[in-house]
Structure 1
Amino acid sequence: MLPRIVFLDRDSLPLTLLPLKAKHQWQEYANTAAADVAGRLQNAEIAISNKVPITAATITACPNLKMIAVAATGYNQIDLAACKARGIRVCNIRDYALSGVPEHALMLMLALRRQLLTYRIDVLAGKWQQAQSFCHFSAPIQDLAGSTLVIVGSGALGQAMAGLARALGMHVLFAERKNASVTREGYIPFNQALGLADIVSLHCPLNTETRHLIAEAELALMKNDAVLINTARGGLVDEAALLKALQAGYIGGAGLDVLIEEPPRNGNILLDIELPNLIITPHIAWAGRFTMQQLADQLIHNIDAFLAGEPSNTLV
């Protein structure tokens, strides 16, 4: 019997996949509702999921499942403990977005520090056309060169972000883990780093320790013209606290590519307002064609490796 592979949310990866080396059966669905996951994986040996949750109950209901190939770096939608207990391999994607995600974060930094939205609104409103001088001033512009970037998360993405920032003349600091008892060499204590930052960029995973990593107390530590960038996971930031900080002028701005609920079908307080110092993009930092192809190719390589008996990029 050929191994049956089921891709639960194929529309999340809108490009061509490499052919698998081993013979197999392939079934794909544009997307999969939570209630349909177990049924669709009933006879599958390999499941592919980008964001569709695979729970302990699903694993119990799918006795043939041997591998879960996560079509992303983040794996918080997979019950790893249940997989480990059943001996199911879980593999994710690593280091594929080292260009795309830092570029997106940099775009948000530039747009916010240089007041892109404010000046675009002014031009559309005719304010430049009515100016007495050759230029129009309405909001203070900050250069990236010479500013301090604090990076939270020193993995591959954090290091790639640091490389781009240094190339632009920014001073880069890495924040130590929040509430760490010891500060490692090359890191700055978390709270101290927030106070030094002109820009804070998040590049860390979402877990029980990092949920609401940035909340009211942390935002209060930041400069009133500092910018927060999140291209990692929405749950890292307390959205209600962020909205309050932006409206009260506690920080200078925020650029987000992620929200707590995605897609935000039930609404989101950050989407209900229009602020020139808040930019939200729909989880597309990873979606450049080159970056997505890197992900897609690695996904197939992970499955090939598993079928060849040499699993790679394993979590359990």
Structure 2
Amino acid sequence: MPSTINIVILDAATLNNTDLSVLNKINAKIMTQIEFYETTSKTQIFERCHNADIIITNKVHLAHHDLAQLPKLKLICIAATGTNNINLISAKKLGIAVTNVAGYSTASVVQHTFTLLLTLMNSSHKYIQDCQNGVWQKSSMFCSLKHSMNEVQNKTLAIIGYGDLGKGVADIAQAFGMHVLICERKGSQPREGRTDFNSALTQADIISIHCPLTAETHNLISDTELNLMKPSAVLINTARGGIVDEKALVNALESKTIQAAATDVLTKEPADDDNPLIRYSGNNLIITPHIAWASKESINRLVNEISLNIKAFYNDENRNRVE
């Protein structure tokens, strides 16, 4: 066991000023030296990591070329669940262990999903803007009822992706008195307890997306699927950009094919000014900047799980290893 380990955090900005002192407590016999970088560009990886035993990264990509230049590197800790930013094949060939963290953000994502949904259903964003613009102040009665409000009770919610996040959303939905449909994979025969994909879209008042982005789910929701939905339907995406065809969604919102949508994710992040959803000016769309996962408690859990992954690695234990 080494007496000192060098840890480099490549995109500490994603940890939102969370207390990282837990990373100094890996083992009483090991001294940790930690270097923090708010962000790291491709050209800065070697300069910052050439002496690293451990790299912690959320979204900085580490390709074969990067890993091959870092002979001291023993462990990559992904500060997220997804592993697509690491060349896992190269890591394995070079004897570099890779860990991730799953499940840390479930409560945060579920909460944000309902924040978006309830905001749309209550027209809260419109009423807040009205108050800021003096509309309520000019009302002829004690309240302002300019925008429609709808209850979620007895509404039908279709959930696409039934992992921990989808199950968490289902639990809260049922507490609200909603009817929950679990979508079967598109084009597959429904398993027990699940509903045919197209049929679920047709029946749903609300569709909430929680599946991963894969070749099969890219543009899963496009013109055809949007046209299956009710004109009163609301679409929520807190999963990944690319699952919803952004141009098709804009067309559906403009034409009132569906009533409203909210998304926390876009195909390219950070958003481009020319993204069709960013350019859309209608008030039946809410966009948030990929924050569903990022509650204070969620990031604290993430950092703690990373520290436990590092401890396990130096104790020769297999914990959250993806390679």
TM over 0.5: yes
| Residue 95, structure 1, aligned to residue 103, structure 2 | yes
| Residue 305, structure 1, aligned to residue 312, structure 2 | yes
Counting only pairs closer than 5 Å after superposition, residues 38-117 of structure 1 correspond to structure 2 as 38-117=46-125
Structure 2 counterpart of 1:213, which letter?
L
1:211 — aligned with what? Answer: 218
> Share of identical aligned residues, percent?
42
Q: Which runs of 5+ in 1 are unaligned?
A: none
Counterpart of 1:142 (choices 141, 147, 150) is 150
Structure 2 counterpart of 1:6, which letter?
V
| Residue 286, structure 1, aligned to residue 307, structure 2 | no
CA-CA distance at 1:235 after TM superposition: 2.1
CA-CA distance at 1:133 after TM superposition: 5.2
Structure 2 counterpart of 1:5, which letter?
I
Aligned residues, how many? 315
Q: Which runs of 4+ in 1 moved over 6 A?
A: none
Counterpart of 1:260 (choices 257, 267, 272) is 267
CA-CA distance at 1:103 after TM superposition: 0.6
CA contact (8 A) 2:273 2:279 kept: no
CA-CA distance at 1:171 after TM superposition: 0.9
CA contact (8 A) 2:26 2:310 kept: no
CA-CA distance at 1:135 after TM superposition: 4.3
Provide closer, same or farther for how the CA distance between residues 232 and 217 of structure 1 changes in structure 2, counting only shifts above 3 A.
same
Q: How far apart, CA to CA, are the structure 1 residues paired with 2:227 and 2:87?
A: 35
1:12 — aligned with what? Answer: 14
CA contact (8 A) 2:250 2:280 kept: no
Q: How far apart, CA to CA, are the structure 2 residues paired with 1:84 and 1:212?
A: 32
Q: Deviations over 1:35-79 (max 9, x none)?
A: 222443333232111111112322233333332211112222222
CA contact (8 A) 1:203 1:230 kept: yes
Q: Deviations over 1:74-101 (max 9, x none)?
A: 2222223333343432211111122211
CA contact (8 A) 1:76 1:206 kept: no
Q: How far apart, CA to CA, are the structure 1 residues paired with 2:267 and 2:100?
A: 21
SS at match of 1:234: coil
CA-CA distance at 1:3 after TM superposition: 3.1
TM-score by length of 1: 0.92
- The CA RMSD over aligned residues, in Å, is 2.0
SS at match of 1:200: strand
SS at match of 1:25: strand
TM-score by length of 2: 0.90
SS at match of 1:157: helix
Q: How far apart, CA to CA, are the structure 1 residues paired with 2:140 and 2:322?
A: 62
Compare 70-79 and 58-67 and name the one that shifted more. 58-67
CA contact (8 A) 1:74 1:205 kept: no
Counting only pairs closer than 5 Å after superposition, residues 128-277 of structure 1 correspond to structure 2 as 128-131=136-139, 134-180=142-188, 182-265=189-272, 267-277=274-284
